[in-house]
Amino acid sequence: DIQMTQSPHTLSASVGDRVTITCRASQSVNKWLAWYQQKPGQAPRLLIYEASTLKNGVSSKFSGSGSGTEFTLTISSLQPDDFATYYCQQYKSYSYTFGQGTKLEI
């Protein structure tokens, strides 16, 4: 199975900051990577797929990049609503694994 490793585990930031979360795959997943946002007590929400394609309706403050084994999620101009846990997920191959999550906190 492909292992997904996110860094950092926890990221402290302030309102207005621009932050970047990294996701590394143990082998190439090409562009088959998604990013999700999860707030406490809520289900995950898809933000980005195919590494850089923003889901319809998701704010353009979120952007994704990368291919192969290294990917990034960048969030610009942080607002209080952005403080949440972010997960990457590869869907190139079985068993469609998720990273362990990055908690973005104030």
Partner 1 sequence: EAQLAESGGGLVQPGGSLRLSCTASGFNFADYAMHWVRQLPGKGLEWVAGINWKSGFTGYAESVTGRFTISRDNVKNSLYLQMNSLTPDDTALYYCAKDPAASEEYFFDSWGQGTLVTVSS
Interface residues with partner 1 (CB under 8 A) are: 34, 36, 42-46, 49, 55, 87, 89, 91, 94-101
Q: Kindly write down the DSSP assignment for every residue of 35-88, as one continuous string.
A: EEEE-TTS--EEEEETTTEEPTTS-TTEEEEEETTEEEEEE-S--GGG-SEEEE
List phi, psi (to 5°) of 82: -85, -10
Q: How far is the CB of 6 from partner 1 (least distance, A)?
A: 10
Q: Cβ closer to partner 1: 66 or 78?
A: 66
Q: Cβ closer to partner 1: 62 or 78?
A: 62
Q: How many CB atoms lie within 10 A of CB 57?
A: 5
Q: How far is the CB of 50 from partner 1 (least distance, A)?
A: 9
- C-beta separation of 75 from 60 below 8 A: no
Q: How far is the CB of 103 from partner 1 (least distance, A)?
A: 12
Q: Cβ closer to partner 1: 55 or 61?
A: 55
Q: How far is the CB of 62 from partner 1 (least distance, A)?
A: 15
Place of tokens 């990294």: 22
Structure tokens belonging to residue 53: 């394609």
Q: Cβ closer to partner 1: 18 or 45?
A: 45
